[in-house]
Structure 1
């Protein structure tokens, strides 16, 4: 099947909006072909297409890694490059896709988690400082969703890499969704230092649609902050 035919087939599967059906169809196709088609979908504005593509990207890259690890690394580098100013793009969908890949594959998680964390860190003057701070609120949403996703599936890895110090500042973000996702991550990682900020957010009325396990639910920042405080203890 050629590249164009593959993309059309993948898009046809996604038109069903049935994630189980999409995943079943993609399993019959070569992982590398699927991934190339998914790059056009993870940046879509349509929430269903975007988030289902993120889920599928994670599984497809993990499948590729089990077959050809170096090819999977190339995909991860392609996602990283899309967030680079020199790429000429914006990188929509890249942080959340990287996180989903790392949830699906432990080896890639060990290799690339520091890069995801670096997007929460300011650029430093020293050559050894690895900050690649993302300023755009919409990219921060994807980043904090990714951090919260990893906090659920690989919390010890994030804690070992020092992410607990990077998340709490986002509790003061102007964007409600960023605040809420930061609260979710703090609760999942049990970040005790975040408790004062979480208490201030306990009545925050901002609401957004949270994607988790293939479906959406409307949540408020206050709800997520209260749940985080309960989880922390």
Structure 2
């Protein structure tokens, strides 16, 4: 009996963080809807279940899309804080439908998480009746309410893609002054199959974020966090995501330099390394001092098998004036392997040897040619 008292005090029933009501166990979604188990509270909040607690980016997207009645376009247009609230409940055990504060229960490690989303205003999920339980697809029918009408005319998806594809930076920045959701629209293009389009979108995200951050740095921070969260699940992250993170930081280092360690961590991921190096090269061009504590990481990349990794690492070490990179750079002077360097909307071919030579010259000029 005593053991049961201790157990009752130790574990907790999961409740909605928005209203405090008990919630049901997340249910498997219907085919063709979302990917993770989901549920909904009587107050209208919805939640997605992440079994490991390490795929919160995917859980966020599943919950948001489920809240938006599977309307992906509308979900991408949503802004945190303005259109929805979000909360995360950690240490959730789906087997017993309990919160385990100590993260261990009956010899098992409990790492699950529930990602909650609650839309503001109309147009989302209606609060369900008290008799309804579990995951209900009746809210996903065809008779959905019309989306909330905004007073200000926003740039359309097609217009936005045209501005990026045609590299109309000034026109895009003018649009960003009137439409602060433009970052989320640009974010969709980070998944484009066209590399030039992805890189232009990333560059324009950085430029637009600088405009928006002058009046609302918190909104840019929320977008930046959403990009970082998406990297936790490669299935929901666009290939241009690291480039966009670097562009935001480089345009507003005074606000967002604290996010640099996230890019540094990506250097250990072979699939993300080149994107992370491109992003970090942007930062190095503006504030090399911010990256000098990690110069050893870039020197190691000079010996990588991938030409793009070697070339980008050479560019960064040159900008940092990293004298410890001189010998490795000298070994690359005859390296004729080609890779693409993005600048001003275009990807131009360079050889590793060319950028290594330029880096050496920069380093030696920085120390007086010694």
Alpha-carbon distance change, 199 to 163 in structure 1, aligned in 2, over 3 angstroms: same
Identify the match of residue 42 of structure 1 among 190, 193, 209. Answer: 190
- CA displacement 1:182-203 (0-9 Å, x = unmatched): 0000111111111121111111
- Structure-2 separation of matches of 1:25 and 1:94: 19
Does 2:298 correspond to 1:151?
A: no
| Structure 1 stretches of at least 4 aligned residues deviating more than 6 Å after TM superposition | none
Q: Superposition pairs for residues 125-140 of structure 1, below 5 Å?
A: 133-136=268-271, 139-140=272-273
Does 2:365 correspond to 1:230?
A: no
Does 2:325 correspond to 1:194?
A: yes
SS of residue matched to 1:211: strand
Pairwise CA distance, 1:31: 4.4
Of residues 40-49 and 149-158 in structure 1, the stretch that sits farther from structure 2 once superposed is 40-49
Pairwise CA distance, 1:64: 2.2
- Structure-2 separation of matches of 1:31 and 1:117: 31
Bigger radius of gyration: 2
Tell which has more relative contact order, 1 or 2 (C-alpha 8 A, sep 6+): 1
- Structure-2 separation of matches of 1:215 and 1:223: 18
Does 2:183 correspond to 1:52?
A: no
Question: Hey, what does 2:252 align to over in structure 1?
Answer: 105
- CA displacement 1:73-126 (0-9 Å, x = unmatched): 1111111112113x6424411211111111111223332123222323xxxxxx
The normalised TM-score by structure 2 is 0.54
May I ask how many residue pairs the two structures share in their alignment?
Answer: 212
> 8 Å contact 2:172–2:208 — kept in the other structure?
no
Question: Hey, what does 2:221 align to over in structure 1?
Answer: 73
Bigger strand share: 2
Bigger helix share: 1
What are the ranges of 5 or more consecutive residues in structure 1 without an aligned counterpart? 121-132
- Structure-2 separation of matches of 1:109 and 1:25: 22
Over the aligned positions, Cα root-mean-square deviation in angstroms equals 2.1
Alpha-carbon distance change, 61 to 226 in structure 1, aligned in 2, over 3 angstroms: same
Of residues 212-221 and 52-61 in structure 1, the stretch that sits farther from structure 2 once superposed is 212-221
Question: Hey, what does 1:12 align to over in structure 2?
Answer: 162
SS of residue matched to 1:107: helix
Identify the match of residue 210 of structure 1 among 325, 330, 341. Answer: 341
The normalised TM-score by structure 1 is 0.83
What are the ranges of 5 or more consecutive residues in structure 2 without an aligned counterpart? 1-73, 78-153, 365-370
